[in-house]
Amino acid sequence: MTDVQQFSCTVNGLQVSTAVDTRTSAADFLRQELGLTGTHVSCEQGVCGSCTILVDDAAVRSCLLLAMQLHGAVVETVESLGGLDELSTLQQTFSAEHGLQCGFCTPGILMTVEAAKRAGTSAVAVVDELLPGHLCRCTGYDNIRKAVQVYLSPEA
Amino acid sequence: MKPAAFRYRAVGSLEEALDVLSEHGEDVTIIAGGQSLMPLLNLRLARPEILLDINRIADLAFLEITADAVKMGAMTRAATVEHHAEVKQVLPVVPQAIAHIGHPQIRNRTTIGGNVAHADPSSELPGVLACLEGSVQLQSKTRGTRTVGWEDFFQSVFTTDKQPDELVTGVTFPITEPWRYSYQEVAARHGDYPVAGVTVGILEQAGVLEQVRISVVGVADRPVRLRTLEERSSGMAATAATAAVLGRFARNEVPASDDVHVSAEYRKAIVGTLVSRTVSSLLEEIGP
Amino acid sequence: MSLMQRPSLVGANVQRVNDPRLLTGEGRFVDDINLPGMVHASILRSYLPAGRIESFEAGSNAEAWVLGPDQIAAATREIPCVWIAPGQQQLSNPVASRALRYVGQPFAIAVAGSRAEAEDVAESVAVQIEPLESVGDARDALMPGAPLVYQEAASNLAVEFSIGDTSEELDAVFAAAPHVIERTFRIPRIVPSPMETRGLIASWNPGSSELTVWMSTQTPHHVRDHIALCLGLRADQVRVIAGDVGGGFGSKEHVYADEVMVCLAAMTLKRPVKWIEDRLEHFTATFHGRDAYHHARLAVDHDGTFLAIQSTITGNVGAHLSNVGTGPFRVSSIMLPGPYRFAKVGTRITAAFTNTTPTGAYRGFGMQEAAWVRERLVEEAARVLGKSPVELRDQNMFRSDELPVMTRTFQEYDSGDYRRALRLVADRIAAYRPPASEPRIRRGVGLATHVEFTGLGPSASQDFVGFRLGGYETTVVRMEPDGSVFVSSGVMGMGQGIETTLAQLVAENLGVPIERVRVQLGDTASAPYSAAGSIASRSITVGGGAAVMAASHLRDKLLRIAGHQLEISPADLELVAGEVRVKGETRPALDLEHLVTRSWLGLDLPDGESPDLEHKSVHDPKNIAYPYATHGAAVSVDLDTGQVTVDAYWVAHDSGVVVNPSIVDGQIMGGVAQGLGIALFEKMIYGPEGDPRSTTFMDYLLPLSSNLPRFTLDHFETPAPHIPGGMKGIGEGGTIVAPPTIANAIAAAVPEIADQLVETPLNASRLWTLMHEAGLHDD
C-alpha cells in the first residue's frame, strides 16, 4: 500500500523532479535516490545532528523532514561545499585543526557552520548555541571548537 | 526506524486542510514542523492513515503584534519568534522560553502551533501560555473558529481540546503591561527537555508584589499554575528574601512524581530553586 | 628518559590522508554502498527479557521473505567465544534460537525491497512468545531462588575465578593494617554509541562460491573467520571489506548473530542483502560495556604506605558470554594496582548471567573500572588520613628507576616516570585560578593516575590467559616498479588515524616522501592476516611496530642492491627523502627509479637477492606496552541543582614515541569525553527484570560540546623498550582515568558527600540527593 508521489526541488544547484514513497525521509532520499551519501543518518530522532543539511539557507535535520517536504525548496548538502580537488576553507580548517576523527558526524557540523557563516553568526554563538546540537563520540569537541573559531574569526 | 506507510496530503490553503480534516478527522495526523512527530513516526509509535502536511499554507505563518497581545499563526517558526526584534521588546519571555526548545537546528522547523498542539508536558511554550493566560485558536469546516483558553486546551499528556476535524490556526500570548515575565528551566544538558520549567510573572508596584503568577511544566500531565502560592504572595515585599520564600513555598506546593530519571523530591527542589531564581532575576530587572 | 634522535616524519602533525574524503561527503561507510539487485533486511528481536518462541509464522504475503529461528539455527554453527575464563562452560552461542534471553536478542530476519518495507514484513510475522521470569541485576541473579537465565543450569553463575594473591594472604594484611578504606563501588552499563551504528552488505556469488561482506568492523579477519565457520564455508570463500568505519570503541570487534543472519539471507536469496542497525536497535542489540559491582578495600600503613588492594567483583555478563566474556573483569583485576607499589593485590571475580544484553568490549576494557575503584579508594585514604592526595600518591608510586617491575598481578611495567606526570598535573592545578566564587556554587580540584595495558599482546601471554586470538600483527611494505610505496596491514581504521600514522612510520623508516606512500587496510583479500584486529590500543604499537620492521627491512634491501651496484658497503649508504646517498653527502649516489625498475625486471641484483621489492614483517610483541598518565580536573558544583561543570582539565601523559601529536591529543580528548560521559551522564537503565528503560538518545545522555572544557595536554615520551619504533598504545587512556579524576574533584568540592561518591553517573539528581541527605539543603 505504498503511497508514491511527485515533488521537485533544487539540490546543490541542480533541479530535481522525481517520485518517492511518501514516508521516505529527506535524508534517505538524498542518500539513496540522489546518491549524495555525505549526509549521514545516525539516530533518526533529530538529536545527534549528523543528518543536518541546509534547506532555504536554514540548518535543519534531514531525518525529521519528509522528502515530500523538500518540494520547492533550495537544498544544500555537504557535497556542495567543496570537492576533493579543492577543499573549501571551512573543510581545510577542520582538517588542519584535527576537528574530525571518524568523520561520521562531520558533514552535519559543516552544514551548521556554513549556515552560521551566511547568517553572520559569531564564533562564540556558534560554539555556545549551535555546536551543542551535534553529537560527536570521537573528538571530545575541543578541536571542533577551535576549527569554528579559526574559520569564523574576523582575521580569517 | 522507518515509518509505517501512510497517505500523504500536502495542502496549500486553510480551506483544503479543513476539508481533509472534516472528511477524515480521526484518521488524520497533522504534520507542521515535524520535530516532535517525525521521531514518533520513525519509531512507529504514531501510525496515521493520513498525514496532512500544512507547511505550504502561507496564511498560517503570520505574526501580529497589538497592544494587547502577540498573536502567532500556527505555522510561525520558533526561530522566527526567537529572533523577532519587536517580540523581544514587547514580550521577551516568549523568545526567552523558545531559546530552550532543543537546538537552533530544531527551532528552524519547530512551529508555534505544532509545539502547542503536541502538548508535551515538559514543553516550554505551554508553560508560558499558562502564565500569560493565553489561548489557542482552532478552526473547523463545519463549526468555524473558536478560541480556547490554555487551561481548557491542555488536558493531559499529548491530549488537548482540539477535535479531530479541527486545526490549530493560531496561538495568542497576551501582553499585560506592566507585568514582567521570565522563564527558566533546568535540563540535564543544553537543549534537553527540562526536568522542570518555570514561568513567573510579577506585577510590582512601589516595592510590593501586587500579583504573582507561577506556572510549571515538567511536573504533571500538563502545565500547572501554583495558585495557592500566587494568592499567598500577593502583598509580599519585592525583595530577595521574598524570592527565597516563594521558592520554598513553590517546592512544597508543586505536584511531582518519580520517573526513570529523577525523583519527585529532586523535581520539587528544582522547581523551588527555579522559582526563587526567576523571581530574583525579575526583581533585579526592576532594580532598586 | 632518554633523548632519542627521531626522524622528522615521526612526531609530525601530518594532516590525515582520509580527511579530504570525509570532509567532502566522499567517505565510503557501509550504508553508502549500493549494489545492483540489493535488498534490505530488518531483524526481528525479542521484546521480552526472557521467553520461549512457541510459534513463528511468516505472513501469507507472497512478497514477504523471512528466515525464522529454526531455519537459521539449522543452517548455522554457533559463534565461538574467544576469551575463555577458567572453568568457563559456555564456549559458543547459537546464531538463533527459540530460547530468548534478552530484549533485543535477534531471532529472525525479514527482507524486502526497502528498509521500510522490510520493517513492514517483520511486523507482519506472527510470533507467539511465552514469557518467562527474568532478572536484570547481577547480584539479584546470584541470590538463591532467582529466575534462571538458563533453565537447565543450577544457577546463574557463569564463571568464578581469582586473580593475584590469595584471600588468606590478603585477609592477613588487612587484619593487621593500621588503616583500611573499604567501599562498594558500582560501575553501570555503558552503551558504546558510535555515531555510525553497525551494518553490513552481504553478497553471495554462486559462480565463484564466494561470500563478500562489506561491514563496519574493527576486525575484518576475525569476522571473516567466524562468518566462514558459522556458515560452513572455507575461510577463502569469505571476503570481508571494511571501508570507512564511523567509530567502534570495541563494539565492532566481533561478528554478531544478526550479521551472520544477513549473510545467510544473502546466500539463500542469492541477492545482496543490506542491513544497517538503527539507533533504537543499537541500545539493545550491540553489546554493552562495564556493569560490575566492586566491593573493594585498600590497606594503608601508618606512614601512608599502601599495603594491599583487593576487590570482590560481581560482574554482569548479560544473557550469554560474549566473545570476550569476562575479559574486562580480568583486566580490571590485573590493572587494579595502577602505578603504585603493593605488597599484596587480589581479586575474586564472580560473573553472573542475567536477562540483559551481553557485555563485551568497550574503550577501557576493565581498566576504567579498576581506575575508578583504586583512585577513589586512594583519594578517600588521603581525606581520611588527612594527607595530601598528591603526596600520598607520590610516595607510593614506582619510581622510574624501579622499572621494569613485575606487579603482583604479573604485569611487567616497562618504562616511564609516573611521578613526573603526577607532579606536572599537581603543578598545573596549583597554578589554576578558579572562577570568582559564587554563593551556592562549590568548587574543587582533583586528580587521578593510571597505568594502561596496551598493545595486546604477546601471543603466548594471550593464550596463557585464555584469549584465543594471536597477538601479532603483520605489515607488508612494497615499493612498486614506479617507486610508489604500498603498505598493507591487518589493523583497521575507525577514526583513530592509523592510515596516516602507519604512512608516517613507513615513510620515515623506509626513507621516502610520505606522498608516495599509500596504506590500504580492511580488505581480507589483500590485508595480511590479523587475528585480533584493532582492539586493545594495539594498532600503532603492534601494527606500527610491524610497519617499522617491514619498512626498515625493505630499506636495507634497497641499500644492499644499491651497494652492490655502486660497489660500496650498504653500511655507508642511506635512503633519505627517496634518494640513495652516501652518508655525509647530499646528492643522490644513483638513480633510485632506475634501480627499482631494474630490480623488478630481475636485473642487477646481488647474489641471493630476490627481485621483489617487498617485505613482510610479523611483529609478535615481547610484552604489553604500558603508557601512563595523570589527569586533573577543576569542577563547579551547583548545590541547588546538583549540576556539575568541568571548568578545566589537565592531562600529563606518556605513551612512548608519538607519531602524530595531533592524533594523540585527539585520542586523549575523545577518550576523556567518553570518560566524562561515564562520570556524569551515561547509564544504560534496566528494570530489575531486565526490561531496558533507556533506549534513545533522549534517555541515554552523551556529553555535548557544552559539557567539555578546554584541555591542557602535556606529553612525555619514554619509548617502549620492546616495540620497534618505541610507540605505546594511545586509544583508551582518556576514558580510563577521567571518571575518578572528575569524581575526585567533586569530592574536593563537596567533602560532605565524598564517601558516597562510589557509583556513576554522578548526575545532577544523584548528587543533589547525596547533598540533601548530607544536610546541605537545610535552611
- pLDDT tens, residue order, chain B (288 aa): 999 999 999 999 999 999 999 999 999 999 999 999 999 999 999 999 999 999 999 999 999 999 999 999 999 999 999 999 999 999 999 999 999 999 999 999 999 999 999 999 999 999 999 999 999 999 999 999 999 999 999 999 999 999 999 999 999 999 999 999 999 999 999 999 999 999 999 999 999 999 999 999 999 999 999 999 999 999 999 999 999 999 999 999 999 999 989 999 999 999 999 999 999 999 999 886
Residues of A in contact with B106 (CB under 8 A): 46, 61, 64, 133
CA–chain centroid gap for C711, Å, is: 22
Core vs surface per residue C132-142: b (16+ CB within 10 A) or e: bebbbbbebbb
DSSP bridge pairs for C405: C413
Domain boundaries B7-53, corresponding CATH code:
3.30.43.10
Query: What residues pair up with C349 in beta bridges, in sequence order?
Result: C161, C313
Q: How far apart are CA C16 and CA C643, in angstroms?
A: 37
Nearest-10 crossing angle of helices C661-680, A142-152: 120
**Chain C nearest-CA residue for A83:** C24
Q: Is the CB of residue A69 less than 8 Å from the CB of residue A122?
A: no
pLDDT at A1: 67
Q: Where are the domains of chain B?
A: 7-53, 59-174, 180-286
**Minimum CA–CA partner of C649 in chain A:** A142
Amino acid at C51: G
Full strand arrangement of the beta sheet holding C289-300: C157-164, C344-353, C306-318, C289-300, C179-190
What is the Rg, in whole angstroms, of the alpha carbon atoms belonging to chain B?
Answer: 19
Report CA torsion sign: C403, C409, C411, C413: negative
Nearest Cα of chain C lies from the Cα of B238 at a distance, in angstroms, of 21
Q: How confident is the model over A12-35, as pLDDT tens digits?
A: 999 999 999 999 999 999 999 999
Subunit contact B188:C779, Cβ cutoff 8 A: no
Task: Identify which of C707, C681, C703, C704 has the alpha carbon closest to the alpha carbon of residue C694.
Answer: C681
> What is d(CA C671, CA A137) in angstroms, rounded to the nearest whole number?
9
Chain C residue with minimal CA distance to A33? C34
**C chain contacts of residue B261, beta-carbon cutoff 8 Å:** 699, 765
| DSSP label at residue B27 | G
Distance of CA B5 to the CA centre of its chain: 31
Whether C706 sits inside 8 A of A131 (CB atoms) is: yes
List the single residue in A42, A95, A143 with the smallest CB-CB distance to C666.
A143
DSSP secondary structure of A63-123: GGSBGGGGTT-EEE-GGGT-BTTB--HHHHHHHHTT--SS-SSHHHHHHHHHHHHHHT--H
Q: Which residue of C has its CA nearest to A125?
A: C706
Task: Give contacts of C681 with chain B, Cβ < 8 Å.
Answer: 188-189
Q: What is the DSSP code string of C502-560? A: HHHHHHHHHTS-GGGEEEE-SBTTTSPP-SS-S-TT-IIIIIHHHHHHHHHHHHHHHHH
Given strand B50-53, what is the order of strands in its sheet? B7-10, B50-53, B28-31
Residues of A in Cβ contact (< 8 Å) with C711: 140, 142
pLDDT at residue C79 is higher than 80 = yes
Q: Are C347 and C163 in contact (CB under 8 A)?
A: yes
Contacts of C616 (CB under 8 A, 6+ apart): C474, C475, C476, C528, C550
A70 Cβ neighbours under 8 A, 6+ residues apart = A7, A9, A26, A29, A55
Q: How far apart are CA A47 and CA A108, in angstroms?
A: 12
Contact C450, C339 (CB under 8 A): yes
Evaluate if residue C6 carries a pLDDT over 60: no
Say yes or no: A43 contacts chain C, CB-CB below 8 A: yes
Q: Is C259's pLDDT higher than 80? A: yes
pLDDT band at residue C3 under the 50/70/90 scheme: very low
End-to-end CA distance of chain B: 56
Contact present, B225 and B215 (Cβ < 8 Å):
yes
Place of cell 547568517: A119
Rounded to an integer, what distance in angstroms lies between the CA atom of residue C338 and that of residue C136? 31
pLDDT at residue C62, as a whole number: 64
Mind telling me how many Å the CA of A47 is from chain B's nearest CA?
8
Amino acid at C236: D
pLDDT tier for residue C683 given thresholds of 50, 70 and 90: very high
Q: Please list, in sequence order, all residues whose beta carbon lies within 8 angstroms of the beta carbon of residue C587, skipping any fewer than 6 positions away.
A: C581
> Could you tell me the strand order of the sheet in which C711-716 lies?
C441-451, C628-638, C644-654, C711-716
Which chain B residues have any C-beta within 8 angstroms of a chain C C-beta?
1-5, 43-44, 186, 188-193, 195, 248, 260-263, 265-266, 269-270, 273
CA C530, C533, C538, C544 torsion-angle sign: positive
Q: How far is A55 from chain B (nearest CA, A)?
A: 10
Which of B248, B271, B273 has the highest number of chain C CBs within 10 A, making it the mutation to test binding with C? B273
Residue B168: exposure state from Cβ atoms within 10 A (0-12, 13-18, ≥19): buried
- Is B180-286 the same fold as B59-174? no
pLDDT at position C56 is 94
Closest chain B C-alpha to C648 CA, distance in angstroms: 18
Question: Which residue of chain A comes nearest to C247, CA vs CA?
Answer: A102
Kindly state the helix (H) or strand (E) to which residue C51 belongs, with its residue range: strand C51-57
Question: What per-residue confidence (pLDDT) applies to A154?
Answer: 63
Question: Which residues, numbered 577 to 636 in chain C, qualify as contacts with chain A under a Cβ-Cβ cut-off of 8 Å?
Answer: none
- The CA-to-CA distance between both ends of chain A, in Å, stands at 54
CB A26 within 8 A of CB A70: yes
Section C751-755 average pLDDT? 97
Instruction: Write down the pLDDT at residue C63.
Output: 65
Give the right CATH number for B59-174 from 3.30.530.80, 3.10.20.30, 3.30.465.10, 3.40.1130.10: 3.30.465.10
**3-class SS at B283?**
helix
Q: Which of A59, A71, A129 sits opposite B108 (nearest CB)?
A: A59
Can you give the pLDDT at residue C2?
A: 29
Query: Which chain B residues are Cβ-neighbours of A58 within 8 angstroms?
Result: 79, 108-109
Q: How distant is the Cα of A14 from the closest Cα of chain C, in angstroms?
A: 17
Per-residue buried b or exposed e for C568-579, using 16+ beta carbons within 10 Å of the residue's own CB: bebeebbbeebb
Q: Which three cell numbers stand for residue C613?
A: 621489492
Our measurement of the distance from residue C570's CA atom to the centroid of its chain's CA atoms, rounded to an integer in Å, reads: 42
Chain A residue at shortest CA distance from B109? A60
**Burial of C126 from C-beta contacts in 10 A (0-12 / 13-18 / 19+):** exposed
- Show residues of chain C in contact with A101, CB under 8 Å: 247, 495-497, 666, 670
Q: Are C693 and B193 within 8 A, CB to CB?
A: no
| Average pLDDT of the residues in C127-142 | 98
Query: Do the Cβ atoms of C596 and C606 come closer than 8 Å?
Result: no
Q: What is the pLDDT of residues C351-365, one digit of tens each?
A: 999 999 999 999 999
CB atoms within 10 A of CB A147: 25
| Partner residues linked to A38 by β-bridges | none
**Confidence (pTM):** 0.97
ipTM over 0.85: yes
CB atoms within 10 A of CB B197: 29
Question: Given this model, what pLDDT does residue C4 score?
Answer: 37
- pLDDT tens digit sequence for C152-177: 999 999 999 999 999 999 999 999 99
pLDDT-derived band at C586, boundaries 50, 70, 90: confident
d(CA C267, CA C281): 24
Contact C18 A103 (CB under 8 A): yes
Architecture label for domain B180-286: 2-Layer Sandwich (3.30)
Task: List residues in chain B touching A: CB distance below 8 A.
Answer: 1-8, 10, 31, 34-35, 38-39, 41-42, 51, 53, 55-56, 79, 102-106, 108-109, 189-191
Please tell me which residue of chain C has the smallest CA distance to B277: C640
Q: Looking at this protein, which amino acid is placed at residue C595?
A: L
**Residue C152 to residue C138: CA distance in whole angstroms:** 19
Q: Which of residues 113-152 of A touch C (CB under 8 A)?
A: 127-128, 131-132, 134-145
Output the 3-class SS for B135-170. Answer: EEEEEECCCEEEEEEHHHHEEECCEECCCCCEEEEE
Contacts of C694 in chain B (CB under 8 A): 260
Of all residues in chain C, the one with the smallest CA distance to B193 is C698
CB contact under 8 A, A137 and C670: yes
Interface of C with A in 23-42 (CB under 8 A): 23-27, 29, 31-32, 34
Determine which of B262, B268, B271, B277 to mutate to test the interface with C (most C C-beta atoms within 10 Å).
Answer: B262
What cell does C317 get? 555478563
The four Cα atoms C318, C319, C320, C322 give a dihedral, to 10 degrees, of -40
* C182–chain A Cβ distance below 8 A for any pair: no
CB contact under 8 A, C27 and A47: no
Q: Who contacts C651 (Cβ-Cβ below 8 Å, separation ≥6)? A: C425, C629, C630, C631, C632, C668, C672, C711, C712, C713, C714, C734
Number of H helices and E strands in chain B, helices first, is 12, 14
| Most B CBs within 10 Å, among C117, C280, C638, C641, to test the B interface | C641
Q: How far apart are the first and last CA of chain C?
A: 55
Average pLDDT over residues C88-109: 98
Residue C114: CA count within 13 A, CB half-sphere: 18
DSSP, residue by residue, B57-68: -GGG--EEE-SS
Mean per-residue pLDDT of chain C: 96
Full strand arrangement of the beta sheet holding B135-140: B63-65, B69-73, B166-174, B135-140, B144-149
The answer to whether residue C1 scores a pLDDT higher than 70 is: no
Do B246 and B209 contact (CB within 8 A), yes or no?
no
